[in-house]
Amino acid sequence: MAGDLEPIPRRGRMTTMRVVRVDHVQLAMPVGGEADAIAFYEGILGIAHVAKPAHLAVRGGCWFENGDLKVHLGVDHDFRPATKAHPAFIVDDVRSIAGVVAAAGFAVKDDEPLEGYDAST
């Protein structure tokens, strides 16, 4: 496969390296937030909570995976909620999932239109 790639310029140097796909998204959470994360990501969104490898589990946090969808939450001792950063999930029925999220007590709002997407946050 590497032989099929054409070199591309990278700030004055050439490389055939390509990013192929995202393996997982790492998000930060406050110390002790695991139960809330599990309740939301697994309980509401339906993304299975999976065990972290033992050598990483000692750090806290939790992982959620469903096939190629992988969301990892790591503990940040100086956690401050991000104001703009976010994962963007593709769902099969955005209105239904927005209803489930709202019924669980979370705020849901329609976002600015983006061509090709029906977006609620």
- 7: in domain: no
Contact criterion met (CB below 8 Å) for 29 and 71: no
Tell me, what DSSP letter sits at residue 45?
A: T
Which domain, by its residues, includes 33? 20-77
pLDDT in tens, 39-61: 999 999 999 999 999 999 999 99
- 82: in domain: no
Element (H, E) at 67: none
- 96: in domain: yes
Number of domains in the chain: 2
pTM over 0.75: yes
Percent pLDDT > 90 in the chain is: 59
